[in-house]
Amino acid sequence: MTSLRVLTALLLTLSFVGPSAAQDRRVPASAAELRLSYAPIVQRVQPAVVNVYAAKTVQNRNPLLDDPIFRRFFGVPGQQPEQMQRSLGSGVMVDPSGLVVTNNHVIEGADQVKVSLSDKREFEAEIVLKDGRTDLAVLRLKDAKEKFTTLDFANSDELLVGDIVMAIGNPFGVGQTVTHGIISALARTQVGITDYQFFIQTDAAINPGNSGGALVDMTGRLAGINTAIFSRSGGSQGIGFAIPANMVRVVVASAKGGGKAVKRPWLGARLQAVTPEIAESLGLRLPTGALVANVTPNSPAERAGLKLSDLIVAIDGQAIDDPNAFDYRFATRPLGGSAQVDVLRAGKTVKLTVPLETAPDTNRDEITLTARSPFQGARVANISPAVADELRLDSSTEGVVVVELEDGATAANVGFQKGDIILAVNNQKIARTSDLDKASKTSSRLWRITLVRGGQQINVTLGG
């Protein structure tokens, strides 16, 4: 009897819903409604999206060729064979003079870069600026004597989950391709791709070759630069990530200003995430915000009045969920002005005004070590506040740090990494780059090296 009642109720429901649902559907009233399309937007923005081809020369390293006896008896020349490695990506024209933004990983280490326009014309390009912290790079077309179509920047802070977007690029090298989807998440901070973890997530199909291409909103403006996918197979699985346009704008502005590095505001404080345990100890309902763990003397943070254990909850009225969100918000603020930071201190909200200025870069003394030693091919610098900020080191750190490694050089081959802090070589303290340069020129059968990596001290012994 009960089953009969349920079935009767279901039939009554279907009979009620059926006609109503049918009334919601109708035949298109005009030819125009049959032609609803994204084509007008695509036609407008497509000329501003380019293909980027990068190539670099590498040597095929055969260990037998390092053996002089092998070369003597088998007549093998000492010069090792070279091979050309090529990479493919996409880019976006952001200035009519021929300025293109793409991903840094597309052109990293390249000896030659070419840009192909949507009309199939090709231009040689020079690298104007590289920014590993955001994985962005800016190129300039050589011998360009015309004005190119560009994309305007959207305000990526105005994007909402569910907004329709299009991804334009050159996946798998098949040619310029357009896909569409929605913004499936904002402010993704646990991706681990770049220093600034604040990505737009989309389900628009993004594949290898789309890197550096445009994520476009329905007004035809640049919402972001496609940079990575989450994939188990290497192809699109509906989870792609784009760098927000507001961050791209900062990098492009630095390139237009003639800088070789991106200039960003410096806080001068180390922040940490709020765990559930910390939230409970602070009496917070939710574990959100960025907790101040250290303040550098004479920094903008100290001059603004920021103190140890302050909890940053907002910047210029925008809520801060974690340190990654603060880093992004702060880095996209224009230099020269100030930002209002809201902090919780002893249960009360305090408003602080932080000046927006760059980190001091005095006495950097950056050099590349060329002497025959384990350090050959390493570029090192004294740790200034700017260097510490670039490499995400504690602002109170002192000493000499590896800032770059040449591909295939001795330093890279023996295992040195960017960010390694060299403390001592053969029991000699290393305080300045000149100390390390002198130590590397000393002949030695054994090299005893003390360094700090990831906050841990490591002792290494290498053969001479």
3-state per-residue secondary structure call for 25-89? CCCCCCHHHHCCCCHHHHHHHHHHEEEEEEEEEEECCCHHHHCHHHHHHHCCCCCCCEEEEEEEE
How many CB atoms are closer than 10 A to CB 116? 18
Mention every residue, 6+ apart, whose C-beta is less than 8 A from residue 50: 90, 91, 92, 93, 100, 115, 116, 117, 118
What is the Cα 118 distance to its own chain's centre?
26
* From 105, 131, 395, 437, active-site residue: 105
From the candidates 87, 116, 156, 211, which is the catalytic residue?
211
The HSE-up count of residue 133 (CA atoms within 13 Å, CB side) is: 22
State how far the Cα of 147 lies from the Cα of 354, in Å rounded to an integer: 40
Give the three-class secondary structure for 195: coil
- State how far the Cα of 165 lies from the Cα of 153, in Å rounded to an integer: 14
C-alpha–C-alpha distance, residues 321 and 197, integer Å? 12
Burial 253-280 (b: 16+ CB within 10 A, else e): ebbeeeeeebebbbbbbbbeebeeebbe
Is 135 in the active site?
yes
For 319, residues 6+ apart whose C-beta sits below 8 A from its C-beta are 288, 313
Supply φ then ψ for residue 40, to 5 degrees.
Answer: -60, -40
Instruction: Please state, in angstroms and rounded to a whole number, the distance separating the CA atoms of residues 77 and 164.
Output: 59
Of the candidates 90, 131, 135, 327, the residue annotated as catalytic is 135
- The CA R_g of the chain, rounded to the nearest whole Å, is 27
Query: What residue ranges in 149-193 does DSSP mark as E strands?
Result: 164-169, 177-188
Q: Which residues are catalytic?
A: 105, 135, 211
